[in-house]
């Protein structure tokens, strides 16, 4: 199926911020103030029966736990609130995804908003033995328009590149040679704890794959994404998690790994909170596996990875999702292909089949 959209006319702004956590947060808040201001004006987004005061009171419980575990992160968020001139607690509430929908229970069918596809190839699949990670991120057109890439440099931490909107992160990499992408799941065991969105920020401070996996598995997490983690030394670990359990997998014997927005590991299937959507996510999962399996060993390149991300088979449940596919509110907002071995990231706003490619390489 050929894409019909024209080339995306604008790229993702790349911003560079240096200083303490609070300094970096303040700079992000100043640069992304309009996005943050819209986010904290959340009266129309509140779950049924909950007031703004209720939401802030609930968020404060998560913030107390986060402040005790990660005071540096509260400094960064408070700096962003200062830079955007908004209430720090309201901004923190926007970072607690777990409080913005009804609790997920088995069979509840609480469809997730974030839809992502991850495709990984390493030796013997890749032409040069490198680790390649491809990612499509599907969200609302407004999110696509708000995207920004940010390079953070905080003394004592590795330099970090992230793609997201405002202070919030969808994917990231760091100068220690680590890559973090992944997919949102619908765990039915969510609880009070460290919000999953903020775990992502913490993982990007880590300097080894083992440390990053440990952060993904921290005991006090409120829930979990499916975290696709890779390192420049060739390591790849997929952490399929919930609040209380997790399974770890690695690429198969051909060097392939795929994940979309549902639980795949047998031990994690009881934690699926949206079985109806899981069946749709499985369409993308199977298609990505099919495309990888058809690739001869030793032939996978960054260009071929982008072609896989550009696949339109089975629309609207395709890897590359367009507005005309008829799914309200969800399009492919950005894509990225990372050569994790060389820490070279290629990315673009909009669909991988028709957008302008940008490139970032970590110094050294």
- Asked if 82 and 134 sit in the same domain, the reply is no
Q: Which residue has the tokens 């921290």?
A: 218
The predicted-structure confidence for 96-112, as pLDDT tens digits, reads as follows: 999 998 765 544 444 55
The answer to the question of residue 319 being in a domain is yes
- Asked if 95 and 123 sit in the same domain, the reply is no
Higher pLDDT, 113 or 324: 324
**How many domains does the chain divide into?**
2
- Asked if 89 and 167 sit in the same domain, the reply is no
Q: Is the pLDDT of residue 3 over 50?
A: no
- Asked if 86 and 131 sit in the same domain, the reply is no
The answer to the question of residue 10 being in a domain is no
Give the global pTM.
Answer: 0.94
Rounded mean pLDDT of 127-156? 96
* Residue 97: both structure tokens together: 């995804």
The answer to the question of residue 7 being in a domain is no
The answer to the question of residue 13 being in a domain is no
The answer to the question of residue 65 being in a domain is yes
The predicted-structure confidence for 116-133, as pLDDT tens digits, reads as follows: 999 999 999 999 999 999
Domain that holds residue 63: 19-99
- Asked if 206 and 348 sit in the same domain, the reply is yes
- Asked if 70 and 202 sit in the same domain, the reply is no
Higher pLDDT, 79 or 10: 79
The CATH number of the domain holding residue 342 is 3.60.60.10
Percentage of the chain modeled with pLDDT above 90? 90
Burial class from Cβ neighbours inside 10 Å (0-12, 13-18, 19+) for residue 275 reads middle
Which residue, of 36, 64, 99, is where some domain finishes? Answer: 99
The per-residue pLDDT for 10 is: 81
The predicted-structure confidence for 154-208, as pLDDT tens digits, reads as follows: 999 999 999 999 999 999 999 999 999 999 999 999 999 999 999 999 999 999 9
Q: Is the pLDDT of residue 31 over 90?
A: yes
The predicted-structure confidence for 241-271, as pLDDT tens digits, reads as follows: 999 999 999 999 999 999 999 999 999 999 9
Which residue, of 99, 134, 153, is where some domain finishes? Answer: 99
Q: Is the pLDDT of residue 317 over 80?
A: yes
Percentage of the chain modeled with pLDDT above 70? 93
Determine the Cα–Cα distance for residues 211 and 176; give it in Å rounded to an integer: 12
Residues 6+ apart with CB under 8 A from 254: 124, 125, 292, 293, 297
Contact 313, 130 (CB under 8 A): no
Residue 330: which pLDDT band, with cuts at 50, 70 and 90?
Answer: confident
The answer to the question of residue 161 being in a domain is yes
Determine the Cα–Cα distance for residues 163 and 149; give it in Å rounded to an integer: 4
- Asked if 141 and 235 sit in the same domain, the reply is yes
């Amino acid at each position: 199926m050929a894409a019909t959209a024209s080339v995306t006319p604008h790229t993702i702004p790349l911003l560079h911020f240096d200083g303490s956590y609070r300094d970096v947060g303040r700079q992000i808040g100043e640069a992304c103030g309009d996005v943050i201001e819209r986010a904290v004006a959340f009266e129309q987004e509140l779950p049924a029966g909950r007031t703004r005061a209720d939401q802030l009171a609930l968020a404060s419980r998560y913030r107390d736990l986060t402040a005790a575990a990660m005071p540096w992160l509260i400094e960064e968020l408070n700096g962003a609130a200062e830079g955007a001139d908004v209430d720090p607690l309201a901004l923190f509430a926007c970072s607690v995804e777990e409080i913005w929908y009804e609790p997920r229970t088995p069979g509840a069918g609480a469809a997730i908003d974030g839809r992502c596809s991850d495709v990984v190839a390493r030796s013997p699949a890749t032409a040069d033995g490198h680790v390649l990670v491809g990612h499509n991120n599907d969200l609302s057109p407004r999110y696509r328009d708000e995207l920004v890439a940010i390079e953070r440099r905080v003394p004592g931490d590795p330099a970090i590149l992230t793609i997201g909107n405002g202070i919030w992160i969808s994917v990231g990499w760091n100068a220690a040679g680590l890559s973090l992408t992944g997919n949102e799941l619908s765990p039915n065991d969510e609880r009070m704890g460290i919000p999953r969105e903020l775990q992502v920020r913490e993982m990007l401070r880590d300097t080894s794959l083992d440390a990053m996996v440990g952060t993904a598995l921290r005991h006090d997490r409120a829930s979990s994404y499916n975290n696709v983690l890779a390192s420049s030394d060739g390591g790849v670990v997929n952490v399929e998690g919930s609040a209380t359990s997790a399974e770890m997998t690695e690429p198969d014997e051909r060097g392939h790994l795929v994940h979309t927005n549902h639980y795949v590991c047998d031990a994690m299937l009881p934690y699926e909170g949206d079985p109806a959507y899981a069946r749709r996510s499985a369409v993308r999962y199977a298609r990505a596996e099919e495309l990888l399996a058809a690739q001869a060993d030793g032939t996978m390149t960054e260009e071929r990875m982008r072609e896989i991300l550009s696949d339109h088979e089975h629309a609207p449940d395709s890897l590359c999702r367009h507005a005309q596919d008829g799914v309200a509110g969800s399009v492919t907002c950005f894509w990225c292909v990372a050569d994790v071995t060389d820490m070279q990231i290629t990315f673009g706003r909009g669909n991988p089949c028709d957008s302008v490619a940008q490139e970032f390489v970590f110094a050294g």
